[in-house]
Amino acid sequence: MRSPRRRELNPAASPCSGRSGLRRVAMLSMHTSPLAQPGTGDAGGMNVYVLQTARQLAACGVEVEIFTRATSSEQPPSAQVEPGIVVHHVQAGPFEGLAKNDLPSQMCAFTSGVLRTEAAKPAGYFDVIHSHYWLSGHAGWLAKDRWNVPLVHSAHTLAKVKNLNLAECDTPEPFARVVGEEQVIAEADALVANTSAEADELITHYRADPARIAVTPPGVDTDVFTPGDRAQARRDLGIPQEAIVLGFAGRIQALKAPDVMLSAVARLRQLNPELGDRVTMVVVGGQSGTGMDYPQWLRELSRDLGVSDSVKFLPPRTGPELAQVFRACDAVCVPSHNETFGLVALEAQACGTPVVATAVGGLTTAVADGHSGILVDGHDETAWAGAFNRLLTDPARRELMSAAAVEHAGNFTWRRTTGDLLHTYRDAILRQRSAARAGARLSQSSR
């Protein structure tokens, strides 16, 4: 059995070296727009991934057209958001009030909109389709046969894996999604996995062909997420200079487990009152997923735990504003029950902030345990409190981890991610053309 492809790229090399005549990529992101604010609703790391890789592709002279579902009547049918990047807002169902689990009912409408847009273009307009998440994969599955181009698919999250790592109060992913993922994974010409762990999950749980899997880690924008002035960052956020600051950034839902940080700090106050009383927690994010059913649940939990006086809730933010939050922190927490990668962990480390994260999924790649941060097995509040205690009472260790975090994050850039994607696109195109030629020869020989 062949292993998934893992390509080591030279960080100094041009990502455009694998372009090989590629002109235009259709990216499908049905359930969330790359222009949406990450950290709320269904927007998160995938939005960042789509937009950042599109930017890098455009910089290589490859045009990118992104198809997403329209969620407002004010959105234009198509808009050029940056040179070389066009976003198409496809009408598929009501603009508002449609939950992600309702979107399968609109896959036909969305796919029709994608096909109609391409039908108005010259023949052979797109060279490859890159679908993101299983819903988009179904649209890509039909479009690839209609356009005679390969389908490259990124799952971003997998239902079977999520269901194996559910939080206590979370709802399992529906069986329809499981079946849908199995179909897309079987039909895609190439699968992009964020880590070797995700590649193994695709093979183990979905019987994916290892030869069609390319392991391509996401990146971080090191022009935005950089070390900076911690004192100024705390002044900007109104946080006392003498505080010990723990941060969380992400969607407020059971999967992301922000409650673990709160419970651990409450436990820390029992184990080390002098330290625990100095901790300020900064929670950046908005309601999402199952959290929509309990919009105040995290605030109510903080009151129940007796730590509400130590929590600062901030609305979702990205780019320089989020980087400033990370700079203000002594550590950033990523206590998720499952992550295919965990971009927040990478962004925090790029700012020189160590990360305390759950030892699951892609976080075991995103965080270098004992070097750039600490990985914790499970979600036991005492174990997390112990990790906080070890890190926060040892300034020398934090300083070493801060430097190591910047170094570790520097190994993951969108430049490298895009270089690998270009190779994956090229390989998929060559395989498809080779298969078409072989099919044509077989057809002629049988006459």
Contacts of 94 (CB under 8 A, 6+ apart): none
Is residue 100 marked as binding? yes
pLDDT at 9: 45
Is residue 347 marked as binding? yes
Is residue 38 marked as binding? yes
Is residue 388 marked as binding? no
What is the mean pLDDT of the segment spanning 331-351?
95
Pick from 92-101, 145-154, 206-215: least confident: 92-101
Residue found by looking up tokens 């009152």 in the block: 273
Number of domains in the chain: 2
Looking at residue 314, the DSSP 8-state letter turns out to be E
Is residue 174 marked as binding? no
* Size of the chain, expressed as the number of residues it contains: 447
Task: Kindly indicate the confidence band of residue 413, based on its pLDDT and cuts at 50, 70 and 90.
Answer: very high
Q: What is the pLDDT of residues 356-367, one digit of tens each?
A: 999 999 999 999
Answer whether 0.85 is exceeded by the pTM.
yes
Q: Assess if residue 225 is contained within a domain.
A: no
Is residue 339 marked as binding? yes
Is residue 133 marked as binding? yes
Is residue 317 marked as binding? yes
Is residue 47 marked as binding? yes
Query: Same domain, yes or no, for 112 and 247?
Result: no
Q: What's 311's domain CATH number?
A: 3.40.50.2000
Is residue 31 marked as binding? yes
- Token pair in block for residue 444: 């002629």
Question: Closest by alpha carbon to 144, among 439, 440, 419, 429?
Answer: 429
User: Does 240 score more than 50 pLDDT?
Assistant: yes
Query: Same domain, yes or no, for 301 and 284?
Result: yes
Is residue 327 marked as binding? yes
Query: Same domain, yes or no, for 139 and 111?
Result: yes
Q: Assess if residue 99 is contained within a domain.
A: yes
Is residue 256 marked as binding? yes
Is residue 10 marked as binding? no
Query: Same domain, yes or no, for 52 and 195?
Result: yes
Is residue 45 marked as binding? yes
Q: Exposed/middle/buried for 323, CB within 10 Å: 0-12, 13-18, 19+? A: buried
Query: Same domain, yes or no, for 243 and 382?
Result: yes
Query: Same domain, yes or no, for 178 and 47?
Result: yes
Query: Same domain, yes or no, for 390 and 421?
Result: no
Query: Same domain, yes or no, for 168 and 234?
Result: no
Query: Same domain, yes or no, for 192 and 237?
Result: no
Q: Assess if residue 201 is contained within a domain.
A: yes
Is residue 423 marked as binding? no
Q: Assess if residue 254 is contained within a domain.
A: yes
Query: Same domain, yes or no, for 28 and 119?
Result: yes
Is residue 329 marked as binding? yes
Q: Assess if residue 397 is contained within a domain.
A: yes
3-state secondary structure of 447: coil
Is residue 399 marked as binding? no
- Rg for the chain, CA atoms, rounded: 22
User: Does 17 score more than 90 pLDDT?
Assistant: no
Task: Kindly indicate the confidence band of residue 344, based on its pLDDT and cuts at 50, 70 and 90.
Answer: very high
Q: Assess if residue 155 is contained within a domain.
A: yes
Q: What is the pLDDT of residues 378-387, one digit of tens each?
A: 999 999 999 9
Is residue 18 marked as binding? no
Is residue 324 marked as binding? no
Q: What is the pLDDT of residues 140-184, one digit of tens each?
A: 999 999 999 999 999 999 999 999 988 777 889 999 999 999 999
Query: Same domain, yes or no, for 41 and 179?
Result: yes
Q: What is the pLDDT of residues 436-447, one digit of tens each?
A: 777 667 667 766
Query: Same domain, yes or no, for 246 and 301?
Result: yes
Q: Assess if residue 136 is contained within a domain.
A: yes
Q: Assess if residue 224 is contained within a domain.
A: no
Residue 241 domain boundaries:
230-409
